[in-house]
Structure 1
Amino acid sequence: MTDLLTLENLGNLLMLCFLQAVLGFDNLLYISIESQRAPVAQQKAVRFWGIVLAVVLRIVLLFVMVRLIDALAEPFFVLNFPGILEGGVNFATCVFVFGGVFIIHTAVQEIAHMLTIENLGTDMSDQRGKPAWKVVTLIVITNLIFSFDSVLSALAITDVFPILAFAIILSGLAMLVLADGVTAFLEKNRMYEVLGLFILLIVGVVLLGEAGQAAAHAMHDDSLALRVFGYEIVPMSKTTFYFSVVVLVLVEVIQSGYTRKLNAERRSGRRH
């Protein structure tokens, strides 16, 4: 126990908590949006159990990753179709591809569902028709997909399992505290739910980009990077991702303010 109480481990813990907070934002956003598909009376319980189960499974995933990281790094096979599709495929590649496609499909499906709503002022019961267990399952699966990126990043900082597990538990507690507030905000400002779904769409694209370099990074061999029609699939940097998110948020805020101003001027013009 005393071996864990070192300045190095404390510094790593603080860094991991910061990392989990940054990488967990899109996860929290998804949880808040998806929980609204459950019956109103069960939404809080759905968020609670979805986060708790996801954190437990994330720790299990972390344990497996710490034990089997070398075995998972070896490519299962190497694609060799010159000029069409080339590169290595390992476990991380498969997870990132599946995760990216799953998240993109979820975001597009929810956006399409919004476009089918004829009257936003009517009863929302139709939108909240998913059984609670199904919503919890989706939250847990998506949390695991999101967590793969953060687990790999965390392992780059330290391989001390208790420190890694404690950071994940702290991030889970933070999500439990913030989830209700984020959901309440989205309920009052539903236009930001659309913004959130487009951010998730970008996250899916980011994961697909990570798939291109997964095998190459693991084996330190650039020849294993995925190439489609001769073009290397390069992951989007975290700086670019968060810059894109900030721009989207600013555009939405300015657009909302401009729309309110126009509506106020129109109402004033009709009165005169």
Structure 2
Amino acid sequence: MEQIIALLTLILLEVVLGLDNVIFISIVAARLPVHQQKKARRLGLILAMVMRLVLLTVISLILKLQGDLFTVFSMGISGKDLILIAGGLFLLYKSSTEIHHKMEGEDGDTSKKIKANTFADVIGQILILDLVFSVDSIITAVGMVDELWIMYAAVVVSVGVMLFASEPISKFVNNHPAFK
């Protein structure tokens, strides 16, 4: 019974934390021609799921290493710290560049799609965004349960929900630019 509760809790957590991921994926995929956007969202989410499963395994191993890897200014730095620092730096970079593009008007009219990005570029950006956005939920999952299969099941189910929800969320975000 305890494992079922842990599984349901992790699924709910993954879905809630994954909603912002779907919004960002929709924004990135919107840079492609309309006929490629759905394929990019789906392929990006499926590849992201595989990456999350691998990342889940790696992070669960890293977090079991309790000792510091090195020290900076008399403060110990662990593997977990490095993961969080890298994720935070990427988020700062990505949000700064998006704000710059919006402020400089480089995106222009939101009804016009930016076609400059290739399909592979968009998939790469989706994978990087998913990597950054999944770190918090993966660390939480590793801290909540010991059984890796429960974490795997929660990731697979939550990505299934995101695949189902990506189309309506994408339409909503594209029709309501304030959410970008």
Q: Same fold (TM over 0.5)?
A: yes
Aligned residues: 179
Distance (whole Å) between structure 1 residues aligned to residue 139 and residue 170 of structure 2: 28
Aligned residue among 12, 20, 36 for 1:18: 12
Matching of residue 120 in structure 1 with residue 105 in structure 2: no
| 1:68, distance to aligned residue in structure 2 (A) | 4.2
Matching of residue 160 in structure 1 with residue 147 in structure 2: yes
The letter of the residue matching 1:36 is: A
Residue 147 of structure 1: aligned partner: 134
Matching of residue 41 in structure 1 with residue 20 in structure 2: no
Distance (whole Å) between structure 2 residues aligned to residue 39 and residue 111 of structure 1: 23
Residue 186 of structure 1: aligned partner: 173
What TM-score, normalized to structure 2?
Answer: 0.90
Residue 46 of structure 2: aligned partner: 52
Percent sequence identity over aligned pairs: 30
Question: Gaps (5+ residues) in structure 1?
Answer: 1-6, 81-85, 194-272
The letter of the residue matching 2:83 is: V
Distance (whole Å) between structure 2 residues aligned to residue 124 and residue 9 of structure 1: 48
Residue 91 of structure 1: aligned partner: 79
Distance (whole Å) between structure 2 residues aligned to residue 69 and residue 115 of structure 1: 40
Matching of residue 137 in structure 1 with residue 124 in structure 2: yes
Task: Determine if contact 1:58/1:144 at 8 Å carries over to the other structure.
Answer: yes
For residues 106 and 117 of structure 1, do their structure 2 counterparts lie closer, same or farther at Cα, with a shift above 3 Å needed? Answer: same
RMSD: 1.9
Task: Determine if contact 1:79/1:89 at 8 Å carries over to the other structure.
Answer: yes
Greater RCO (CA < 8 Å, at least 6 residues apart): 2
Matching of residue 75 in structure 1 with residue 73 in structure 2: no
Question: Gaps (5+ residues) in structure 2?
Answer: none
What TM-score, normalized to structure 1?
Answer: 0.61
Distance (whole Å) between structure 1 residues aligned to residue 100 and residue 62 of structure 2: 40
